[in-house]
Structure 1
């Protein structure tokens, strides 16, 4: 009998392994070439079974029926998932896709708790203002800020710039009688026994950044505030002001424009002093003691300031329109952006012996004066009474450094920037630079706590510590010019902390687009540690929660007026009729003064940190950039009505011009009362859509909402930039925002529709027509955008 061949093969195979050894548990079969385990054989058997099953199905079922079976199984699985999966909103999906488990409410709670449990503001203020000078480019303030950011596990970035700027050498003012010195001004503040800041070994004299160097000896004249109106009055009264030293009081307009006006009217140099009369009721005349004994201004107070024309062209006057990125940057002549005559600041105490010499000479000008024995006479002084003025600064290219911390967002655009400067012109700056810097660090600490909880903001956030701001907005301007393209594309809002705590009354200046989010954040912020009183309650009680116009005095100039980024500035300051008088840019701006008259427990700093942080989070964490376009355009409409009424009186018989103005009015009216209302209502509905929990099978609704969301956010970010012009304002080309700019003649207040306003004031028909044409185009673009 012959055996089958395969049996022989099988026998041969068995004989091959007959010498192999085995053991219990993990059976192992070995030979010279390989090793197999029972586990491998089991896996092989499983695969063989699957393949065999597939072959059986393939043999007994055609391909079409097999496909339908797989498809039916898939539908059953998806149906099960759809039926039992939790409902989610588009808002929640954004976070879920980026592994964030925090809701908006949890984000707010964690942030607020971190600041309520601990307040480090006092420590920061003392570090900045106590033993640091906080001067331009000060390395100790820079190092402290960097170290704090690093301790919070951020990765700070330093941006260096190289502006042309002055360092004080010396200033002097002396009164001469028959060419002999009869009085020498001290040019420094008094020492105060209980204020350590006034006992620094280095006594810093009063000076003006960007004053021209020079020595002048001549007669002098009092010119009130140094406004154009004051000079016109002096000329009308035939007062001899040519080649005299002009003495002007601070207030009404920025220092640079005072010196600019004085130069225009023939001054040889300028003295700017602070008159207690302008402090309202909080003066010694009304029975209040001066600092340190009471809330009135100390008579020896000196206000250091910058006199470059930063309300026209902020930043380095030798690099207009471009940043000074390195030492090799081309620096042009600063002529036209800085004064060509010397100037110095003086205290009321130092200037008194000089002003009293003018009594009975010229005529009385202005609202009155609280300078002892001075009756506001203009002069000029007699031929024997002269002033010798000396101002000397060492001008050079100097390095400054801004510090930037970035918190990346889920979205790449819609960036919110918070800025505060740490430099000062005085050797102490507790209320101004130090308070803002301390609050910035506290905001960073609250957000670092969120990051440790796995938070990632929807929109990116940046925290920036500016340098060089008190010398004419150097740091912020260079930064904006260096990053202008990115900021126009990505920035949603800029929030500023300047002079953050120098009183107890809350004040806000902001673009109207931000009104709703600012009010909402204020309603959620505890005021001064009181659980039953919000910041909004305090604000409402003091000023009816009024949001004022932006002016030309701070770091938001570059963002709002040059780039069209909606901006806001927040501060606690004194009321016009109550509260201690603030000693800006003086050695008296010390922690001692701050604790005595504003916030001894630094709870106001804590309140501000919570409020600004909440405002940022509300802008960042909401999918919809919910700007109030109706309020924005309604204010614009009211502003235009004012100039529209004036136009008909300035050019009453110009039918062409009046017809053009009427067209602008009609277009703006429709945009205000129809387009913006509809756009805001649609955004309200979209906001609810983004938060509506939907089942999985309605995913197409989320896709539609997402498309609408992207479109709406893009429009909201563009609206303010539609009012940026390429030409800029007349004689102020750097200022490009047509709705609002610093007032041309004051700088310290905002001016609405400035191009049209200035053209009407000059009675320049061609310029009026150009601005009406620009506004017609811009309002037309706004209507198209809001569709």
Structure 2
């Protein structure tokens, strides 16, 4: 028994593997150790968690302190751009734009395309070329269509009849020129006027000089018979429609408008210069086309005054009183010389002579056996036109700058009008596209717009302005216009005074004709003393400045009338050949204007604080009001109430000019420096305060010109709503300052004069309150 027990217990005494070293036991012990380790670690962390949190927080504070200690000092200007992921400084933006246009000049290619054929309003070839060029630059142009009531030429003519025999008949087209091998491929339509009335009249004729009021007063004082006659009137710097309007008032049954080379200054055939294409003088067979709509009263579609013709079904009214009711046609110097000599020694003689061969500048009228036949047939229909809008969205919402140029022409050609402006607009687009390619976004939105229907009545721009009036008044900072930009060597700038300083700054950065050592500003000062003229009329800024109160500017190079080649206005000789050989042979002037225009827009866009000068505006108002005071005192010498109100307004204007505007501009200048001043990070509160002041100042500057817009408009031309700027009522091309008051004084209307004194006083009071610092 004991032996058995001994044998049975033997494995226990000498086992091959004990229980404690089994796989299960090893796993059990490992799990136990792990749990115990975790418990121990957790207990350790729990015991030291406060110390751990303190350590982490101290490390974070140490990192932030180190980082903030070495943060660079920054300005509000740079912070603003960083927040919007912009890498561009203003200087770098200007440099890239400038270099892109200095390296390459595509004007010639654009001019060849734009002058290849006639493109009246609504033409699709010029439309397609412009759109394709903008798309090639990476833009997405949008087309807006409008449907104005407009005339298309069918036929027109002039015949001279003597004793019932046809003595002469005008061809109504220019002589052919061989100087346009790279230009027009199709002939121009027979010469005609935009918005001229249809008619076929045969009557005696009378010469009425320029067709101004003083010309007609002179003729009536000499008892020259005017009623029932065809009036022959020479072109000058007076809108054609006003000439026809005056003729109609004095009983004309038809009007012939002709071009007298005398208006060209020294460069005439009479002075020994050869005519184009052999020389720089006017080609005498040129017909100067143009519009005879009453544009000083109302541009745009005359059947939709004040609202846009957005569809063929748009409600329309009669165009009566907005265009002539008698036919009119243009005439060349060559053809009119076959007619005017029949007036020699008849009627009265004008002191001012001219260069029409064989004519002694007598009024006539012609004898009863000598008559002219004026024939005019136009088709009037609702016509589709196309505005092309390219937008570069800005960082700041609700603020934009618009650059515009019309692209339609009267003739096959139109190198200066409208080819130069359209080509420059595309070059501005190319310069801006180089910036966009590099990731640039403008601070404020920039819009490039190619208008249609500019020649007949600024149709595209006016319909656009009327269609978007509320939005434009709310958002638009400025409008820059390009029209007939290159016709000579003298730089001319017309602008709202608010824009004067920024335009001169842009000119200072613009190389003149590619010369980096000589700027456009230096050229401007050398030729005209850096003068900024009052805005005139007859072009596409009219709706923006005169109707909506958006500060506008237009700039161009014009002929000096001494040795510059004559611009062959609105004739078939305004051709690619003329521009290539006489106008701008190497397209350096075009390039200068493209650089200047783009830099002007960039300066308006890229400055956080709007660069407007209210003192320049107030000074201009003060200067012109003092002139009107003299006229007012002479007109109403004994009216103490009018003179008292005049003195009150004068005192208010002077106070704003010499005190309020100066203080405001000084405050803005100081604020502008603070916007660019660097501050350490801990002074962020100062940047916030500067930003608030900046926003307030910008809003005030945007409102200044809007405060001069009235609901009533000017007397007898309510569409012109600006109290400070409007086209001069009797001449048109020139601008008038404080036109409502000026016209009331001239009309010797005391009630109207008082109303305008009160309107201006109220507006200047609002301006004074707005500009208070």
CA distance in 2, matches of 1:758, 1:666: 22
Counterparts in 2 of 1:314-393, with a 5 A limit?
314-393=299-378
Between 650-659 and 616-625, the greater mean CA deviation after superposition: 650-659
CA distance in 1, matches of 2:614, 2:628: 21
How far 1:355 sits from its partner (Å)?
0.3
Find the counterpart in structure 2 of residue 99 from structure 1. 85
How far 1:531 sits from its partner (Å)?
2.0
Structure 1: segments with no counterpart, 5+ residues? 1-6, 19-41
Find the counterpart in structure 1 of residue 3 from structure 2. none
Find the counterpart in structure 1 of residue 539 from structure 2. 554
How far 1:658 sits from its partner (Å)?
1.1
Find the counterpart in structure 2 of residue 509 from structure 1. 494
Q: Tell me whether 1:426 sits opposite 2:411 in the alignment.
A: yes
CA distance in 2, matches of 1:298, 1:463: 35
CA distance in 1, matches of 2:733, 2:596: 25
Query: Could you report, residue by residue, the CA deviation over 1:729-776 in whole angstroms, capped at 9, with x for unpaired residues?
Result: 000100011111100001010111100000000010000000000011
Flag the structure with larger Rg. Answer: 2
Query: Could you report, residue by residue, the CA deviation over 1:144-179 in whole angstroms, capped at 9, with x for unpaired residues?
Result: 111111111111100000000011000010000122
CA distance in 1, matches of 2:70, 2:495: 48
Q: How does the TM-score come out when normalised to structure 2?
A: 0.94
Asked whether the equivalents of residues 91 and 691 of structure 1 are also in contact (C-alpha less than 8 Å), the reply is: yes
CA distance in 2, matches of 1:699, 1:76: 21
Say which of 65, 81, 105 aligns to 1:119. Answer: 105
Find the counterpart in structure 2 of residue 31 from structure 1. none
How far 1:134 sits from its partner (Å)?
2.4
Asked whether the equivalents of residues 134 and 429 of structure 1 are also in contact (C-alpha less than 8 Å), the reply is: no
Find the counterpart in structure 1 of residue 96 from structure 2. 110
SS at match of 1:168: strand
CA distance in 2, matches of 1:585, 1:579: 18
Q: Tell me whether 1:736 sits opposite 2:727 in the alignment.
A: no
Say which of 463, 485, 488 aligns to 2:473. Answer: 488
Q: Tell me whether 1:714 sits opposite 2:699 in the alignment.
A: yes
Asked whether the equivalents of residues 82 and 695 of structure 1 are also in contact (C-alpha less than 8 Å), the reply is: no
Aligned length: 749
Asked whether the equivalents of residues 118 and 410 of structure 2 are also in contact (C-alpha less than 8 Å), the reply is: no
Query: Could you report, residue by residue, the CA deviation over 1:123-152 in whole angstroms, capped at 9, with x for unpaired residues?
Result: 0010111x2322211111100111111111
Query: Could you report, residue by residue, the CA deviation over 1:231-265 in whole angstroms, capped at 9, with x for unpaired residues?
Result: 11111111110010000000131000001111111
How far 1:281 sits from its partner (Å)?
1.2
Find the counterpart in structure 1 of residue 70 from structure 2. 84
Find the counterpart in structure 2 of residue 296 from structure 1. 281
CA distance in 2, matches of 1:622, 1:345: 48
Q: Tell me whether 1:747 sits opposite 2:732 in the alignment.
A: yes
Between 368-377 and 77-86, the greater mean CA deviation after superposition: 77-86
CA distance in 2, matches of 1:197, 1:287: 29
Find the counterpart in structure 2 of residue 56 from structure 1. 47
CA distance in 2, matches of 1:390, 1:309: 21
How far 1:541 sits from its partner (Å)?
1.5
CA distance in 2, matches of 1:480, 1:226: 32
Asked whether the equivalents of residues 118 and 186 of structure 2 are also in contact (C-alpha less than 8 Å), the reply is: no
Compared CA separation, residues 366 and 511, structure 1 to 2 (3 A): farther
Asked whether the equivalents of residues 291 and 298 of structure 1 are also in contact (C-alpha less than 8 Å), the reply is: yes
How far 1:536 sits from its partner (Å)?
1.2
Find the counterpart in structure 1 of residue 384 from structure 2. 399
Find the counterpart in structure 2 of residue 170 from structure 1. 155
Asked whether the equivalents of residues 132 and 141 of structure 1 are also in contact (C-alpha less than 8 Å), the reply is: no
Query: Could you report, residue by residue, the CA deviation over 1:659-715 in whole angstroms, capped at 9, with x for unpaired residues?
Result: 111111111111111111111111111111011111111100100110010001011
SS at match of 1:547: coil
Counterparts in 2 of 1:189-228, with a 5 A limit?
189-196=174-181, 200-228=185-213
SS at match of 2:609: coil
SS at match of 2:454: coil
CA distance in 2, matches of 1:142, 1:559: 23
Compared CA separation, residues 245 and 53, structure 1 to 2 (3 A): farther
Compared CA separation, residues 45 and 142, structure 1 to 2 (3 A): farther
Compared CA separation, residues 79 and 317, structure 1 to 2 (3 A): same
Counterparts in 2 of 1:320-719, with a 5 A limit?
320-719=305-704
CA distance in 2, matches of 1:53, 1:249: 106
Say which of 264, 269, 274 aligns to 2:259. Answer: 274
How far 1:72 sits from its partner (Å)?
6.2
SS at match of 2:338: helix
Asked whether the equivalents of residues 391 and 446 of structure 2 are also in contact (C-alpha less than 8 Å), the reply is: yes
Asked whether the equivalents of residues 198 and 587 of structure 1 are also in contact (C-alpha less than 8 Å), the reply is: no
CA distance in 1, matches of 2:724, 2:40: 78
Compared CA separation, residues 49 and 199, structure 1 to 2 (3 A): farther
How far 1:49 sits from its partner (Å)?
11
Between 743-752 and 190-199, the greater mean CA deviation after superposition: 190-199
